């Protein structure tokens, strides 16, 4: 049986040095073309954003857009989420976005579902206490499992959630959240065009 060793990388603990500032760092895991990474970086020039995906050709678009816009607060990392804790030191990351991740609805344990509490427990190795995990998704089972798993564990607080972001929910939010939640990824737009509804869960790590 092949043995895959966790990869050690020279970037672990070095990301603030890379960005040449001490500003908060947000990750988008499974970023695809990187719409959230670039969209957030445009809106928050005094924070840093890293898009992560195993498929480098997908985030080539986001990287090209960031370069064309002259954004200095964006990076992309090609790796599998399974290895993510090898790339970040404790307390190095402030927030994580999981945007339309492969749903894996049959995976009740969560070992393949990167929105699961099983994965969140790994993210805690480098996510600050009080840091956020944002899950935006079309799949009702991903939404249901997130509410179930995080709602049951005192180490997590579900700060807000909605079955329909673009229903009444957005009108109830402050303009900051209204703005952020309306960033649309490639997959989100595809699912909206098919008539699916976008769901959102914001989890705070205690």
Ligand X SMILES: C[S@@+](CC[C@H](N)C(=O)[O-])C[C@H]1O[C@@H](n2cnc3c(N)ncnc32)[C@H](O)[C@@H]1O
Interface with ligand X (CB under 6 A) = 30-32, 53-55, 58, 80-82, 99-102, 185-188
Is residue 32 helix, strand or coil? Answer: coil
Shortest Cβ 154–ligand X spacing (Å): 28
102 is catalytic: yes
> By three-state DSSP, how is residue 5 classified?
coil
- To ligand X, the closest distance from the beta carbon of 191 in angstroms equals 9
195 CB-near residues (< 8 Å, 6+ apart): none
Nearer to ligand X, 105 or 151 (CB): 105
Pick between residue 15 and residue 187 the one whose CB is nearest to ligand X. Answer: 187
Distance CA 67, CA 51 (A): 14
Question: From CA 73, how far away is CA 105, in angstroms rounded?
Answer: 34
Closest CA to 15 of 56, 60, 52, 49: 49
Instruction: Give the DSSP per-residue string, 41-56.
Output: HHH-TTSEEEEEES-H
Whichever of 32 and 131 has its CB closer to ligand X, that residue is 32
Closer to ligand X by CB, 48 or 185: give it.
Answer: 185
CB of 100 to ligand X, least distance (A): 3
Shortest reach from residue 181's CB to ligand X, in Å: 13
Query: 121, 198, 128, 205: which is closest to 164 by C-alpha?
Result: 198
Cβ–Cβ < 8 Å for 95, 103: no
User: H-helix or E-strand containing 35?
Assistant: helix 35-43
Work out how close the CB of 175 gets to ligand X at its nearest, in angstroms, rounded to a whole number: 23
Nearest to ligand X of 12, 112 (CB atom): 112
Catalytically annotated residues: 102
């Amino acid at each position: 049986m092949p043995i895959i060793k966790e990869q050690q990388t020279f970037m672990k603990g070095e990301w603030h040095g890379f960005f040449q500032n001490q500003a908060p760092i947000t990750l988008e895991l499974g970023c695809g073309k990187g719409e959230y990474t670039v969209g957030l970086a445009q809106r928050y020039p005094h924070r840093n954003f890293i898009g992560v995906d195993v498929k480098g050709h997908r985030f080539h678009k986001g990287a090209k857009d960031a370069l064309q816009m002259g954004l200095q607060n964006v990076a992309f990392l090609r790796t599998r989420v399974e290895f993510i804790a090898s790339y970040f030191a404790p307390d190095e990351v402030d927030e994580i976005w999981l945007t339309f991740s492969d749903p894996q609805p049959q995976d009740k344990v969560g070992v393949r579902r990167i929105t699961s509490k099983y994965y969140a427990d790994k993210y805690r190795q480098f996510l600050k206490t009080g840091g956020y995990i944002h899950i935006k998704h079309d799949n009702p089972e991903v939404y249901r499992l997130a509410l179930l798993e995080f709602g049951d564990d005192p180490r997590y607080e579900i700060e807000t959630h909605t079955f329909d972001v673009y229903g009444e929910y957005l009108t109830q939010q402050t303009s900051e959240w209204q703005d952020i939640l309306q960033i649309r990824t490639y997959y989100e737009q595809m699912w909206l065009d098919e008539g699916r509804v976008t769901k959102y869960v914001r989890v705070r790590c205690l």
